[in-house]
Amino acid sequence: MKTKTFCTYETAWCPGCGNFTILECLKIALEQLGKNPSEVLIAAGIGQAAKTPQYINANAFCGLHGRSLPAAVAAKIANERLTVIVDTGDGDSYGEGGNHFIHNIRRNVDITHFVHDNQIYGLTKGQASPTSMIGLKTGVQIDGNFNEPLNPVLLAIACGAGFVARAFTGHKEHLIALMKQAIKYKGYALVDILQPCVSFNKTNTFTWYNRRVYELDESYNHKNKIDAMQKAMEFGDRIPIGLLYREDKVTFHQKNAILNQGTPLLDRKTDLNYMNQLIKSYT
């Protein structure tokens, strides 16, 4: 599948990297949703995955390592008409940006967060990421990683996120469908996308994931938080992918007394009469 609207560019990724699939699916999802490039903002921090905004025909905010969430939510606060997507890696999202991850779930600004989760640091050439499994050997974790891996989807559900999904680059149509749902969801939506790192993660390979993942079917009720947490914890011989949890929640824009009045923040003006009145209140 090729998309026109969001174009195709040369990348700096390794051949066979899961990033290609995620990028392609993102472009298709945006195109199928009928988005115009000028209304879409792709934000990222630093990392191999975080180069995504460079390879898509849309507005781009390539910020600091770990800090794309605060910048992205504020861009959405500034202009609610933008479709804001944070598309970046597991290190950027859960490691360097862990604090922002937790607190932006609480804010529930209407943005979408796609995390390229390959359980390894790519750009810095192969060190443990927050999601690396116990035992994974790297140039730094020479005896194997012995820290407990973070479970991002479980954490997100526990923190109160209203849209939490897990996907795998080996299931493209499934990923596109989830991306579209996540973008359409009113509030903070997380899709943790499992992908292989062909250069540095020799454990969690395409085959490793492919043998384990299975798509959640219609019998699964994504509205039940306890079930969702149980499913989120399933990460071993079998790994469920799909929408784990969904709940309609009041968004930041709906809660904020300024933003819920319908005028995008950037279009507001401060009235001169008001300024003079304000100054007078100090006399």
Partner 1 sequence: MYNLLIGGAAGQGIDTTVSILEKLLKCSGYNVFTTRDFMSRVRGGHNFSLIRFGIKSIYSHSNRLDGIVALDEETIQLHKEQLEDSGFILCDTKLSGLDSRLIRIQMDAMAKGLGNPQVSGSIAVGAVLKLFGESLDNVRTVLQIFIKQQYLDVNVKAVEEGYASTETHFSHLNGMYCDQMLISGSKAVAIGAICAGLRFYSAYPMSPSTVIMETLASKADEAGIVVEQAEDEIAAINMALGASYGGARAMTGTSGGGFSLMVEALGLSGMAEIPLVVIDVQRPGPVTGLPTRTEQSDLKFVISASQGEFPRMVIALRNAYDAFYQTMRAFNLAEKYQIPVILLSDQYLGDTTFTVNPFNPEKIQMISPKLEYTENTEYLRYQYSENGISPRLVPGKTKQLVAVDSDEHDERGWITESAEIRTKMMDKRMKKLEGLKQELQEPTFIGTNDFETLLIGWGSTWGPIKEAVNLLNGDNNPHYAALVFGDVYPLPLKQFKEKAAKAYRIIDIEQNATGQLADLIREETGILCENRILKYDGRQISGEEIVEQIRKGTVK
Write out the residues near partner 1 by the rule CB under 8 A: 12, 37-39, 41, 43, 46, 51, 53-54, 57-64, 67, 70-79, 81-82, 99-100, 102-103, 256-259, 265-266, 268-270, 272, 274-276, 278-280, 282-283
* Residue among 55, 114, 57 at smallest CA distance from 88: 114
Distance (Å, whole) CA 212 – CA 281: 66
Q: Which is nearer to partner 1, 87 or 242 (CB)?
A: 87
Q: Residue 81: how many CB atoms within 10 A of its CB?
A: 9
Distance (Å, whole) CA 178 – CA 99: 25
Distance (Å, whole) CA 121 – CA 132: 9
Q: Which is nearer to partner 1, 14 or 216 (CB)?
A: 14
Tell me how far, at minimum, the Cβ of 77 lies from partner 1, in Å. 6
* Phi/psi of residue 114, nearest 5 degrees: -100, 120
Q: Which is nearer to partner 1, 72 or 177 (CB)?
A: 72
Q: Which is nearer to partner 1, 38 or 230 (CB)?
A: 38
Tell me how far, at minimum, the Cβ of 42 lies from partner 1, in Å. 9
Tell me how far, at minimum, the Cβ of 192 lies from partner 1, in Å. 21
Cβ atoms 168, 241 nearer than 8 A: yes
Tell me how far, at minimum, the Cβ of 179 lies from partner 1, in Å. 20
Tell me how far, at minimum, the Cβ of 217 lies from partner 1, in Å. 37
Cα dihedral 167, 211, 13, 149, rounded to 10, equals 70
Q: Which is nearer to partner 1, 12 or 233 (CB)?
A: 12
